[in-house]
Every structure is written in structure tokens, then in C-alpha cells.
Structure 1
Amino acid sequence: MRFFNTAGPVRCSEHYCLPPLSRFDLPEILSLIDQKKYFILHAPRQSGKTSCLLALRELLNHEGRYSALYINIEMAQTARNDVSRGMKAILSELAFQNERTLGDSALCKNISRSIEDYGEDAALNVVLSELCRRLKRPLVLCIDEVDALVGDTLISLLRQIRSGYPSRSESFPVSVILCGVRDVRDYRIHSGKEKEIITGGSAFNIKAESLRIGNFSEEETKSLLFQHTEETGQVFEEDALNEIWRLTCGQPWLVNALAYEVCFKLKEGKDRENPITKALVTEAKENLIRRRETHLDQLVDKLKEERVRRVIEPMLTGEIFEQSFRTDDIDYLVDLGLITQAENGAISISNPIYQEIIPRELSWEAQSGMALNTEWYIAPDGKLQLYKLLKAFQQFFREHSESWTDIAQYKEAGPQLLLQAFLQRIVNGGGEITREYGLGMGRTDLFILWQLPNGESQRFVIECKIRHRSREATIQRGTEQVVKYADRCGAEEIYLIVFDRSKKKNWDDKIFTEDLTCEEKEVTVLGM
């Protein structure tokens, strides 16, 4: 029985999958190869890059016009600036794959000698030249995980390939595909030898194109899920299909991980007689986030980087702190898959799962210190008493906000993160929080859905604003915004929280509660 794959290259005989060669523009790639171009193929981690390269290798070797090799050079990452060690690892992988794929074992005997005779900064060039002279067909070389290399080893690799480029018609690969998370133009390589930063564009200025593997489309996502139905008879309800698409926006690993969790891990989902429902998808999503699966853990680790913070923090608060974002920061986060950028330049966090996990992880330290019982904010009939919870947060914020934001990396987003940490107990108690960010709009919106024992639900919206102008102007603008948001969500209770970051005011001036009416809707405003 096939299953949804969440680790390693896809095997269509073992996994539900989309044909790897359908994931990119195959005619364009074949045209670039025929034109003897060197080019880049990049995509976020676990998007199917390796599967695509392996399928391309098989296609080229099967057609018989080219000899194609695939090598993964991630093992050379630990060499860092030790070029000799790094090149030995790369040449070992090249020799192994050459014997495995093309049946040629000659390279295996010459690795150490090549480095000794020609030096680490020429050995790869020489070995590739010798290999191409022996082959009967032109060589296409696919190099995976190229951006895993660090420092002088990466510089040497790029320069050796570049130096062989003019000879590609006679004694060098006719086409080289460099594959990784990032476009080579964005590499900033710290050279230990040259004591400076070398850009990837200068070290590899022969790149013809940079191609990106995208996410699944909605149609592709549902096509993948339907393969499970075809093989097992287990159906996905329409709401479940739509929810998987909404939560993942087609990110390949998320689609497969969510589907695997709901169909192969959850007890109810493993019973093929049961349909896959939206509720099961929600449960599966929570499990993935709580377990911090490797893909999500790698994502969280990137949040520690300063260039990531410079982009994500304003998105969490809705505030723009600087005149403009740095273009290379935006490009970096797009390459990582953390954000998307529309044609008009607008940026957003890539999907609702990332939207949820980012603030949850950034506020984890605060959450871990909030071990409070649920009884005091849940009524006997099971209803959530959100007003009671927010009033408690108002006092909590007064007592703890300064000490917590002092140690938080995302200081400007501290109030919003602390609130979300406080409210996270709602999710842990059986509710859902949906986060919406309004970059440049000066707000963060939260939608809370609370399930009642009788099957009904409560709907709440909270809008967070940082006070910059007068209290009256901030409240007026905030109530107008939150009422529109509440109307869109069908919320029954509406809250506006105004954070006053001024250090000159005392807390008695910052703390207040007001009940207002806007467009015939009641809005509770809490200042802090």
C-alpha cells in the first residue's frame, strides 16, 4: 500500500505522488540543456527538488542523448573552509554516483591522487574533464544541496565549474544544474583565505537562468489526496479537502505531512470506513505543530536570524519600523519559503500553519510559565468567558510585560506575542485561534473559535493596536477596523486591545476598559 511521503525523494511505486517531471517546466529545462547552459534550480526545503533532479537524470539517461549524473554534496558542509577535505568528499560522491549510475569505476581509484597532483582548487575541474573525455555522450551534471557548502569550499566549487565552462563542448559537462534552497546570486560567502565576503553572482557569473519549483496548485493538492481515496476507498469530505488546501497553500511537505497524520496516524483516520473530516484535519494540524516535526523545527530555527527578524517582526505587529525592507532580506525569506511576495510587492507569511507556528514558537518561553487552570474562564455550560480571560491578561501584562520583553528577541512584537502566549491555552483547551496580520495597517487580528459541548460554537475577534497617536484616535481607528473584521468572521464578541509602549506614563494611566458601539456593534476596549 502506498502512503504520503514526508522524508526523502518520492518513489511513485511506494508513495502517493505527482509525477516529479510535472513539477517544473520540463521543455524549458531540456531546451537549456540542449543550449549547453548552466543554470539554477531552487526551492524551499522539502519541496521536491531532489525528486525532480532524480527523475530528470533518469529521463536523460533513458533517452540516450546525454549521460546524466546526480550528486548530493551536503556531506561536504562540515569541511567549511577546509577545501581539501571538502573536495575529497565531493569527488568521492561523484565517483560513487558515476559507478552506480554509469557503471564506470575508474574515478574511485584517483580521488586522493587528483587532489595531491592538481591541488584542491583544480582537482574537481580535472576529474570532470577526464570523465567527460571517457564518456561517449555529453555529460549533464546535477549538483544538489550546493548551498549547504560553507566558505572557501563553496567558492572553490563554483570557481572550478566556472573555469571549465568554456570547455563544455569538448571536455566538460555540457550543462550543470546547481540545486539548493537559494538562488546563487544571493549567496554571501565568507572566505577564510581572502578575508572578505564573496557573492555567489561573482563566483558563478555564467548562470543562464534561475528556475524555481513552486508549491502544489489547489488542483494538484486535491489530485494527490484523491490517490488515497482511489487506493483505499476512504473519502475526504469537501470541507476537509478545502481545509488542507487552506492550511498548507500547497506547500508540498505540509500537504503530505497533514495527509499522512490524518490518514495513517489518527485512530479515527486509520479506519478506512470513516471519512476524513475537517475536524480530523484540524486535529492533525495541531499534532504536527505540537511535535515540532523536522520541517517545522528548521523553520523555527530560522526565526533566530537577524535578517529574518527584520521582516517577520513588522508582520507580527502590523507596524513598519524602517523606511523600507531590505530587498535581499525579502529574497532570502521568499527562498526559504517563509513568506510570499505578490506582483505588487505585498508580502505575507506563506500559509496559515506558518502563521500559527511562528508566534507560538516565539512566545514559547512565556507560554511555558503560564500553567493556569481552565476552570476560572470556562463557564459551567462550557462557554468561554473571554472577557474574564482578557481582564486577567490585562493585570498579567502590567506585572510581567517589561521583564518578558526585555529578554525577547522580537521586542517590538513583545506585547502581541505575550497576548498570544496567554491565549494559547484556548487552543490547548479545545479552541482554535486564527491569526491575521495587517502589515502597514498597524494591527494584528485574532479570530477565536470555541466549540461548545452541544456542538455549537462561539466566535470572538480581537484586534491589537500599538498606540502612536492619542488614545481617542487610536480607539476610533481600531474600532472601525475590528468591526469590519468581526463582520467578516461572524463574531459575537468584539475586543480591541490598545498597547501603550510609552515608558514615561505610569500604569494607572495605561490601564482602562471601555465599552463602545460602532456600526451598531458592541466593542470592548482594553488598554494596557
Structure 2
Amino acid sequence: MRFFNTEGPMKPEIHYTIPPLSRWNLDDILTLIARQKYFVVHAPRQTGKTSCLLALQAHLNQSGTYRCLYCNVEVAQAAREDVANAMQAILNDLAVRSGDAWLENLWPDILQRSGAYGAFGTVLTRIAEQSPVPVVLLIDEIDSLVGDTLISMLRQLRGGYDKRPTQFPQSVILCGVRDVRDYRLKTDDGKAAITGGSAFNIKAKSLRLGNFTREELDMLYRQHTDETGQTFEPDALDLLWEFTQGQPWLANALALEVCFELEEGLDRSQPITAAMVETAKEHIVLRRDTHLDQLIDKLREARVRRVIEPILASDDEPGDMPTDDVQYAIDLGLIRPQKPFAISNRIYQEIIPRELIHATEYSITQETAWYVDAATNKLDMNKLLAAFQDFFRQHSEHWLECFAYKEAGPQLLLQAFLQRIVNGGGRVEREYGLGRKRTDLLIIWPHRQGVQKIVLELKLLWNSLEKTLEEGLPQTVEYMDKAATESGHLLVFDRRPGIPWDDKIFAFDRTYHGKTVCVWGC
């Protein structure tokens, strides 16, 4: 039986898979190769880049028009700027994957004679001269190399460019997370950085491998139904798309969890439901698999923070957001490439703030039982938010200084407080993004009579309270309608300097279009 894959390249014989060559414009690729172009393919991690490269290699070799070689230079990552050891690892990988006995025997001599800064280019020349057809070279994980090693690799490729196709590969495809222009290279400590574009200015084009489309996502899951008879309810498919937006690792990981790990999902006579997808999502978020761990690690980088922080704070789009930083966040898969910028999908949207508040959440001395009605098991939101007001007044100055993402501090601190409480039996859903001027939170709390849904709208007060209410009340009621609930709260954070706490802290009800909204000042 096949299954959903979350580790390494796809193998159609054991994995449900979307045909890799259908995921990009193959005609475009073949045209670039025919025109002897050197170009870049980039995409976020675990998007399917390697699977697509290996499928392209098989396609080109089967055609007989080219000889296509693949090498993965990640084997040299540990060598860092030790160019000699790095080139030794790269040439060995290329020789073994090529299947040429002569190359396996020859490359050590070439490395000794040509040196670390010339051996790679010399080997490529020998391969091209030996081949009866033009050579195409696919270099995977190119941006895993750093500094002098990467400079040497790119400049040897550029150095042989004029000899193609008879004495050098006709076409070279560099593949990695980032576009070549974003490679940051330093020759030595203290020397100015140069860009990958200047070391590889022969690049003709940069192609980005995208996520699955909705049709491809449904096609992937339909393979499971065809093989096992287990169906996905329409609401479950909608939720899988909403959670993942077609991100390939997430799409496979959620399906693997729900179909092969959840006890109810293992019963093939039972359809996959939206509730099961919700449970699977929580398992993945809490487990923090390698994919999510790598994503979280990037949040510590200053250039990522400069992009993500305004999104978490729901600011208007800042005019000085560095273009290179935005592109970097897009290349990492953290934000969607379209404006207005937002976190790429619902799972990332949830896990990013949860990770940023993780330590804070467990440092807050609050207990779920304090805010749960013993008779009904419902959350007492008035009591909870009054407690948060008191907590915010006493501790916000200290806690906000602890956050690396200070501009989003009030929103994150509230989420840490809520997460500490809601972890006792419910969940928090989040919506935020540039230009929204608000953060939407929805608490889902199961109780004895059903499910409690509570809307929290977060706003920053900059000018006047009445102006903020003019914007915030319609937004809160709109979200209440969307969530199908009568319980709505609008929290107004006043970050203006010099305003006394007695003026910041308040609570009152306001009615808008027949619905009552509780307004809280913080």
C-alpha cells in the first residue's frame, strides 16, 4: 500500500504523488536547455524541488538528446569555507551518481593537478568532451554552500560558460531555497559581502516552484481514496486546503497523520472528517516536526523579523520594509508572494505566534480552572479578560521587553495569556496580516452543552478611543457574524507614551447593529 511521504524525494511506487514534471512548465524548461541557458530553480524547503530535478533527469536521459547529470552539493556543507575538502566531497558525489568508472578513478588526480579552485570546472570539461550528446547538469542544494566554497563553485561554472556545449555543460540548473541574487558571500572575515548574482552573472532566468493547486491537492488525496476506498468529506478537503494552501510537506503531513496515525482514520470504512483534520493539525503543531522546527529557527534572523513583526502587529504595510528581506521571507515560504503580505497558510499562521510566546506562556502563573464555570464548564470571558487587564498593567513593561518582536508585543502577550488558559481544553484560531489594522482571535471551547465560540478583536489606539471604536466595532461584529457567535470582545491597546494606566484600563459594552460587544482597554 502506498502512503503520504514527508521525508525526501518522492517514489511513485510507494508514495501518493503529483507527477513532478507537471508541477512546472516543462516546455519552458526544455526551451531554456535547448537555448544553452544557465538558470535557477528555487522554492521553500520540502516543496518537491529534488523530486522535480530527478524526474527531469530521467526525462532528459530517456529522450537521448542530452546526457543529464545530477549532484547534490549539500554533502559539502560541513566543510564550509574549506574549499579543498568541499570540492572533494562534491566531485565524489558527482562521480558516484554519474555511474562513470573512469570519472570515479580520474577525479582525485584532477583535484590534485587543478587544485580546489579549478577541479570542478576541469571535471565538467572532461565529462562534456567524453559525451556523444550535450550535457545538462543539475546542481541541488546550491545555497547550502557558503563563502569561498560557493564563490569557487559559481565562478568555475562561469569560467567554463564560453566552452559550452562541446567542452562544458550545455545547460546548468542551480536549485535551492533562494534565488542566486540572494546568496550572501564573504571571502574572509571582515571583508565586504558580495552577492551571488555578481559571481554568477550568466543566469538567464529564475523559476520558482510553487505549492500544489487546489486541484492537485484533491488529486493527491483521491489517490488514497482510489487505493483504500476511504473518502474525504468535502468539509475535510476544504479544511485541508485552508490549513495548508497546498504547501506540499504540510499537505502530505496532515494526510499522513489523519489517515495513518489517528485511530479513527485507520478505519478505512470511515470517511475522513473535518474534526479529524483539526485533531491531526493540533498533533503536528504540538509535535514540531523537523519541517516546522526549521521554519521556527528562521524567526530568529533579523531580516525575517523585519518582515514578520509588522504582519503579527497587523500594521499598515511599512514603506521602509526592505525589498530583499521581503523576497527572502517569500523564498523561505513564510509569507505569500502576493500583496497584501500575510503568513503563507493557517498552520504557519498559528505556529509562528505560538512559538514566539512559548516560553512566556509557561511563565504565566494562571490556571484554567480559575476561569471555568463549574456548573456549565463554560469559559467566563469577563473574568478572564479582567484578569488579563490586571496582569497587563502590572507586568507588560517587563514582558514586552522580553519579546524579540516588540512591535507585536501586546498581541503576543495576550495570546500567551489565552494559550495558557485555553490549553486546558480548547484552542485559539488567529487571523492577522499587513493592512488589517487588527488581529482577530477566535476561542473554541467545548463544554457540556456544546461548543463555545468567543471572538476577540485586537486594536491599537493611536489617535482617539472613539476613532478606534468606529473602526473596531464593525470589524468585531463582522467577525462575530463569520464565526456565527453572539460573544464578542474588542480589546484596545493604548501604547501612547505618558498616558496614565487609570485612563488606559476600562471596560464597557457597546451595541452595534443589534449586537453587544464588550470593550476592554489595556
Q: Do the structures match in fold with TM over 0.5?
A: yes
1:437 aligns with 2:432: yes
- Decide which of 392, 400, 407 is 1:412's aligned counterpart: 407
Aligned partners of 2:468, 2:189: CA distance in 1, in Å?
Answer: 55
Task: Report how far residue 429 of structure 1 moved.
Answer: 3.0
Deviations 1:194-214 (A, max 9, x none): 922111111111111111111
- Whichever residue aligns with residue 267 of structure 1, its letter is E
Show the counterpart of 2:105: 109
- Decide which of 448, 452, 468 is 1:453's aligned counterpart: 448
Aligned partners of 1:413, 1:367: CA distance in 2, in Å?
Answer: 15
Task: Report how far residue 438 of structure 1 moved.
Answer: 4.0
Show the counterpart of 2:26: 26
Show the counterpart of 1:57: 57
Taking the TM superposition and a 5 Å limit, the aligned residue runs for 1:469-480 are 469-480=463-474
Show the counterpart of 2:88: 88
1:209 aligns with 2:214: no
Instruction: Tell me if structure 1 keeps the 8 A contact 2:366–2:421.
Output: no
- Whichever residue aligns with residue 324 of structure 1, its letter is D
SS in structure 2 of the partner of residue 15 of structure 1: coil
1:357 aligns with 2:358: no
CA 1:441/1:15 → structure 2, altered by over 3 Å: closer, same or farther?
Answer: closer
Show the counterpart of 1:222: 218
Instruction: Tell me if structure 2 keeps the 8 A contact 1:91–1:111.
Output: yes
Deviates more, 1:401-410 or 1:384-393: 384-393
Show the counterpart of 2:115: 119
1:309 aligns with 2:305: yes
Aligned partners of 2:134, 2:435: CA distance in 1, in Å?
Answer: 53
Instruction: Tell me if structure 2 keeps the 8 A contact 1:464–1:496.
Output: yes
Aligned partners of 2:361, 2:209: CA distance in 1, in Å?
Answer: 37
Deviations 1:5-34 (A, max 9, x none): 000000000001111111111111111111
Aligned partners of 1:167, 1:193: CA distance in 2, in Å?
Answer: 34
Deviates more, 1:54-63 or 1:380-389: 380-389
- Whichever residue aligns with residue 127 of structure 2, its letter is L
- Whichever residue aligns with residue 487 of structure 1, its letter is D
CA 1:371/1:85 → structure 2, altered by over 3 Å: closer, same or farther?
Answer: same
- Decide which of 503, 514, 520 is 1:520's aligned counterpart: 514
SS in structure 2 of the partner of residue 191 of structure 1: coil
Aligned partners of 1:10, 1:453: CA distance in 2, in Å?
Answer: 45
1:389 aligns with 2:384: yes
CA 1:17/1:181 → structure 2, altered by over 3 Å: closer, same or farther?
Answer: same
Task: Report how far residue 357 of structure 1 moved.
Answer: 0.5
Q: Taking every aligned residue pair, what percent have the same amino acid on both sides?
A: 55
Taking the TM superposition and a 5 Å limit, the aligned residue runs for 1:272-283 are 272-283=268-279
Task: Report how far residue 463 of structure 1 moved.
Answer: 1.1
Aligned partners of 2:226, 2:474: CA distance in 1, in Å?
Answer: 49
- Whichever residue aligns with residue 466 of structure 1, its letter is L
Deviates more, 1:186-195 or 1:438-447: 186-195
Aligned partners of 1:478, 1:116: CA distance in 2, in Å?
Answer: 70
1:41 aligns with 2:35: no
Show the counterpart of 1:250: 246
Instruction: Tell me if structure 1 keeps the 8 A contact 2:362–2:420.
Output: no
Task: Report how far residue 109 of structure 1 moved.
Answer: 2.4
Instruction: Tell me if structure 2 keeps the 8 A contact 1:515–1:525.
Output: yes
Aligned partners of 2:325, 2:433: CA distance in 1, in Å?
Answer: 19
Task: Report how far residue 140 of structure 1 moved.
Answer: 0.8
Deviates more, 1:186-195 or 1:137-146: 186-195
Instruction: Tell me if structure 2 keeps the 8 A contact 1:458–1:492.
Output: no
Show the counterpart of 2:181: 185
Aligned partners of 1:117, 1:522: CA distance in 2, in Å?
Answer: 81
Task: Report how far residue 60 of structure 1 moved.
Answer: 1.1
- Whichever residue aligns with residue 297 of structure 1, its letter is D
Aligned partners of 1:209, 1:502: CA distance in 2, in Å?
Answer: 48
1:377 aligns with 2:371: yes
SS in structure 1 of the partner of residue 193 of structure 2: strand
Aligned partners of 1:47, 1:481: CA distance in 2, in Å?
Answer: 36
Show the counterpart of 1:324: 320
Instruction: Tell me if structure 1 keeps the 8 A contact 2:443–2:453.
Output: yes
Aligned partners of 2:472, 2:213: CA distance in 1, in Å?
Answer: 36
Deviations 1:9-65 (A, max 9, x none): 000000011111111111111111111111111111000000010111111111111
Unmatched segments (≥5 aa) in structure 2: none
Deviations 1:168-201 (A, max 9, x none): 1211011111000111122221221892211111
CA 1:408/1:156 → structure 2, altered by over 3 Å: closer, same or farther?
Answer: same
SS in structure 1 of the partner of residue 8 of structure 2: coil
1:401 aligns with 2:402: no
SS in structure 1 of the partner of residue 269 of structure 2: coil
Task: Report how far residue 428 of structure 1 moved.
Answer: 2.2
Q: TM-score normalized by structure 2? A: 0.96
Aligned partners of 1:453, 1:114: CA distance in 2, in Å?
Answer: 75
Deviations 1:380-419 (A, max 9, x none): 2222222221111111112221111112100111110011
Q: CA RMSD in A?
A: 1.6
Deviations 1:349-399 (A, max 9, x none): 110111100110001111112354322222222222222211111111122
Task: Report how far residue 320 of structure 1 moved.
Answer: 4.3
Show the counterpart of 2:456: 462
Taking the TM superposition and a 5 Å limit, the aligned residue runs for 1:123-202 are 123-192=119-188, 195-202=191-198
